Structure 1
Amino acid sequence: MSETISPNTTIAQYFVISKIGEGGMGEVYRARDTKLGRDVAIKVLPAAFSADAERLRRFEQEAQATGALNHPNILVIFHIGTHDGAPYIVSELLEGETLRERMASAALPQRKAIDYVLQIAHGLAAAHAKGIVHRDLKPENLFITNDGRVKILDFGLAKLTGAADGNLSQTEVPTRRVDTDPGLVMGTMGYMSPEQLKGRPADHRSDIFAFGAILYEMLSGKRAFRGESMAETMSAILREDPPDLSETNKTVSPSLERVIHHCLEKNPEERFHSARDLAFAIENLSGAATSSGQTMTMAGVATATEGRKIAGMSRLFGNARLGWIVAALFLLALVTALGLALLYVRQPSPEAQVARFSINLPPGTTTVANTAPVLALSPDGRRLVFGASDAAGKNQLWLRPLDSFATQPLSGTDGAAFPFWSPDGRHIAFFVDNKLKKLDVGSGVIETICQAGSGQGGDWNRQGVILFSEGDGTGLSRVNAAGGKPEGVTEMDAAHEERVHNFPSFLPDGKHYLFHIRGGDNPGIYVGSLDARDRKLLIPLSADGANATRAVWSPQGYILYALNRTTLLARAFDPNRLELRGEPFRVADNVIVSQAGNARFAVSANGVLAFIQGGAPDIVQLTWHDRNDKRLGVIGPAAPWLTFRLSPDERFAALIRDEPNRLSSLWLLDLLQGATTRFITEGNNNEPVWSPDGKQLAFSSARNSPPTLFLKPLTGNVPEERLLQSRFQSFPVSWSPDGKSLIYGMFSPLTRGDIWLLPLSGERKPQPLVQTKSNERFGRVSPDGNWLVYQSDESGSNEIYVTQFPQPARSWR
Structure 2
Amino acid sequence: MKELFASARAMPVSDRQAYLAAACAGDEVLRQEVESLLASDQRAKSFLESPAVVRGDGTPHPAQSMIEGRRLGAYQVQALLGAGGMGEVYRARDTRLQRNVALKLLPHAFTSDPERLSRFEGEARMLAALNHPNIGAIYGFEEADGLRFLVLELVDGQTLADTLADVSHQHAGRGLPIRDALSIAGQIAVALDVAHEKGIIHRDLKPANITITPEGVAKVLDFGLAKSTDVASTPDLAQSQTMPANHTGAGAVMGTPGYMSPEQARGQVVDKRTDVWAFGCVLYEMLTGCAPFKGGSVSDTIAAVLESEPEWDALPQETPPSVRLLLQRCLDKDANRRLGDLGDVHFDIDDLRGDATTRRRQSSRTRRAFSAALVTSVLIAGGAASVYWVKPTVAVTTPAEYIQLTNFSDSATAPSLSPDGRMVTFKRGGDSFLGPGQIFVKRLPNGESVQLTTSPGQKYGPVFTPDGTRVAYTNKVSGEWDTWTVPVLGGQPVRLLPNASGLTWIADHLVLFSEIKAGLHMGIVTATDSRAARREIYIQPDEHAMAHYSYLSPDRRSVLVVEMTGVHAFTQPCRLVPFDGHSAGRPVGPHGTCLSAAWSPDGRWMYLAAVVGGTSHLWRQRFPDGAPEQITFGPLEEEGGAVAPDGRSLVTSIGMRRSAVWIHDRAGERAIVSDGYASAPRLSRDGTRVFYLFVRDWWLSGVVGWTTAAADLRSVDLATGKSDTLLSGQSVTAYAISRDEKEVAFTTTNADGQSQIWLAPLDRRTPPRLIVESADQVSFAAPGELIFRSLAEGNALARIKTDGTGLERIPTGSFLDKGDVSSDGEWVIIHSPATSDHPVLETLAVPIRGGVPRTVCRGDADICTAGWSRDGTFFYVGRLNASPSFARRTFAIPVPAGQALPDFSAGGIADLKRAVALPGVRTIEEGLISPGSDPSTYVFTKADSQRNLFRVPLH
Q: TM-score range by the shorter chain?
A: 0.5 to 0.7
Is 1:421 the equivalent of 2:463?
yes
1:610 to 1:748, Cα distance in 2 relative to 1, 3 A:
farther
Q: For 1:732, which of 763, 773, 777 is the aligned residue? A: 777
Q: Hey, what does 1:764 align to over in structure 2?
A: 807
Q: How far apart, CA to CA, are the structure 1 residues paired with 2:266 and 2:740?
A: 60
Q: For 1:47, which of 92, 96, 108 is the aligned residue? A: 108
Once superposed, what is the RMSD of the aligned Cα atoms? 6.6
Q: Hey, what does 2:523 align to over in structure 1?
A: 475
Q: Hey, what does 2:540 align to over in structure 1?
A: 492
Is 1:779 the equivalent of 2:827?
no
Is 1:515 the equivalent of 2:555?
no
> After superposition, what is the alpha-carbon deviation per residue over 1:491-518, rounded to whole angstroms, capped at 9, x for unaligned?
2235xx9955454223224553212467
Query: Aligned to 2:554, what secondary structure does the other structure show?
Result: coil
Structure with bigger RCO (C-alpha 8 Å, 6+ apart): 2
Q: Hey, what does 1:744 align to over in structure 2?
A: 789
- What residue identity is the alignment partner of 1:28? Y
Q: Hey, what does 2:550 align to over in structure 1?
A: 504
Q: Hey, what does 1:552 align to over in structure 2?
A: 598
Q: Hey, what does 2:650 align to over in structure 1?
A: 608
1:20 to 1:676, Cα distance in 2 relative to 1, 3 A:
same
List gaps (5 residues or longer) in structure 1.
160-176, 178-182, 226-232, 240-263, 301-315, 328-340, 342-352, 366-372, 594-598
Q: How far apart, CA to CA, are the structure 2 residues paired with 1:294 and 1:208?
A: 15
> After superposition, what is the alpha-carbon deviation per residue over 1:721-773, rounded to whole angstroms, capped at 9, x for unaligned?
4435x5xxx42243434554514375987xxxx6624254985331243625x
Q: Hey, what does 1:338 align to over in structure 2?
A: none
Q: Please list, as runs of the form range in 1=range in 2, the aligned pairs for 1:296-315 lying within 5 A after superposition.
A: 297=352
Deviation of residue 136 (structure 1)? 9.7
1:518 to 1:533, Cα distance in 2 relative to 1, 3 A:
farther
Deviation of residue 580 (structure 1)? 3.0
Deviation of residue 96 (structure 1)? 2.0
Q: For 2:346, which of 292, 295, 298 is the aligned residue? A: 292
Q: For 1:465, which of 495, 511, 534 is the aligned residue? A: 511
1:566 to 1:537, Cα distance in 2 relative to 1, 3 A:
same
Deviation of residue 100 (structure 1)? 7.0
> After superposition, what is the alpha-carbon deviation per residue over 1:559-613, rounded to whole angstroms, capped at 9, x for unaligned?
2334444474644534xxxx234x44331235778xxxxx724234343242546
Query: Aligned to 2:308, what secondary structure does the other structure show?
Result: helix
- What residue identity is the alignment partner of 1:744? R
Q: Hey, what does 1:534 align to over in structure 2?
A: 583
Query: Aligned to 1:146, what secondary structure does the other structure show?
Result: coil
Q: How far apart, CA to CA, are the structure 1 residues paired with 2:759 and 2:114?
A: 56
Q: How far apart, CA to CA, are the structure 2 residues paired with 1:54 and 1:499?
A: 67
1:513 to 1:801, Cα distance in 2 relative to 1, 3 A:
same
- What residue identity is the alignment partner of 1:712? L
Q: What is the percent sequence identity of the aligned residues?
A: 18
> After superposition, what is the alpha-carbon deviation per residue over 1:600-658, rounded to whole angstroms, capped at 9, x for unaligned?
2423434324254669xx799x9999652588999xx9997654556667899876454
Q: Please list, as runs of the form range in 1=range in 2, the aligned pairs for 1:536-685 lying within 5 A after superposition.
A: 536-537=585-586, 539=588, 550-555=596-601, 557-561=604-608, 562=610, 563-566=612-615, 568=617, 570-574=619-623, 579-581=624-626, 583-590=627-634, 600-606=639-645, 607-612=649-654, 627-628=666-667, 642-643=679-680, 645=682, 656=693, 658=695, 664=710, 676=725, 678=727, 681=730, 684-685=731-732
The answer on whether the counterparts of 1:118 and 1:283 sit within 8 Å (CA) in structure 2 is no
The answer on whether the counterparts of 1:46 and 1:86 sit within 8 Å (CA) in structure 2 is no
Q: Please list, as runs of the form range in 1=range in 2, the aligned pairs for 1:337-416 lying within 5 A after superposition.
A: 354-356=402-404, 359-362=407-410, 374-379=413-418, 380=421, 383=424, 385-386=426-427, 388-389=429-430, 395-397=436-438, 399=440, 401=442, 412=454, 416=458
> After superposition, what is the alpha-carbon deviation per residue over 1:95-146, rounded to whole angstroms, capped at 9, x for unaligned?
22346766669414968555565567778999999998988967x6664431
- What residue identity is the alignment partner of 2:633? D
Q: Hey, what does 1:4 align to over in structure 2?
A: 67
Q: How far apart, CA to CA, are the structure 1 residues paired with 2:204 and 2:772?
A: 60
Q: How far apart, CA to CA, are the structure 1 residues paired with 2:131 and 2:450?
A: 36
Q: For 1:146, which of 211, 214, 236 is the aligned residue? A: 214
1:465 to 1:146, Cα distance in 2 relative to 1, 3 A:
same
Query: Aligned to 2:748, what secondary structure does the other structure show?
Result: strand
Is 1:23 the equivalent of 2:45?
no
1:419 to 1:361, Cα distance in 2 relative to 1, 3 A:
farther
TM-score (norm 2): 0.52
1:78 to 1:458, Cα distance in 2 relative to 1, 3 A:
farther
Q: Please list, as runs of the form range in 1=range in 2, the aligned pairs for 1:110-149 lying within 5 A after superposition.
A: 143-148=211-216
The answer on whether the counterparts of 2:415 and 2:653 sit within 8 Å (CA) in structure 1 is no
The answer on whether the counterparts of 2:573 and 2:594 sit within 8 Å (CA) in structure 1 is yes
Q: How far apart, CA to CA, are the structure 1 residues paired with 2:800 and 2:511?
A: 47
The answer on whether the counterparts of 1:526 and 1:537 sit within 8 Å (CA) in structure 2 is yes
Q: For 1:93, which of 154, 161, 169 is the aligned residue? A: 154
Q: Hey, what does 1:807 align to over in structure 2?
A: 851
Q: How far apart, CA to CA, are the structure 1 residues paired with 2:184 and 2:551?
A: 43
- What residue identity is the alignment partner of 1:764? L
Query: Aligned to 2:625, what secondary structure does the other structure show?
Result: strand
Q: How far apart, CA to CA, are the structure 2 residues paired with 1:87 and 1:357?
A: 56
Q: How far apart, CA to CA, are the structure 2 residues paired with 1:4 and 1:677?
A: 56
> After superposition, what is the alpha-carbon deviation per residue over 1:235-254, rounded to whole angstroms, capped at 9, x for unaligned?
9x999xxxxxxxxxxxxxxx
Count of residue pairs the alignment pairs up: 657
Q: How far apart, CA to CA, are the structure 2 residues paired with 1:376 and 1:432?
A: 19
Deviation of residue 551 (structure 1)? 3.9
- What residue identity is the alignment partner of 2:554? P
- What residue identity is the alignment partner of 2:346? S
Q: How far apart, CA to CA, are the structure 2 residues paired with 1:797 and 1:420?
A: 30
1:16 to 1:722, Cα distance in 2 relative to 1, 3 A:
same
Q: Hey, what does 1:432 align to over in structure 2?
A: 476
Q: How far apart, CA to CA, are the structure 1 residues paired with 2:651 and 2:513?
A: 21
Deviation of residue 490 (structure 1)? 0.9
- What residue identity is the alignment partner of 1:396? G
Query: Aligned to 1:147, what secondary structure does the other structure show?
Result: coil
Deviation of residue 19 (structure 1)? 3.4
The answer on whether the counterparts of 1:20 and 1:28 sit within 8 Å (CA) in structure 2 is yes
Q: How far apart, CA to CA, are the structure 1 residues paired with 2:95 and 2:521?
A: 68
Query: Aligned to 1:292, what secondary structure does the other structure show?
Result: helix
Q: How far apart, CA to CA, are the structure 1 residues paired with 2:148 and 2:669?
A: 34
Q: Hey, what does 2:29 align to over in structure 1?
A: none
Deviation of residue 685 (structure 1)? 3.4
Q: Hey, what does 1:261 align to over in structure 2?
A: none
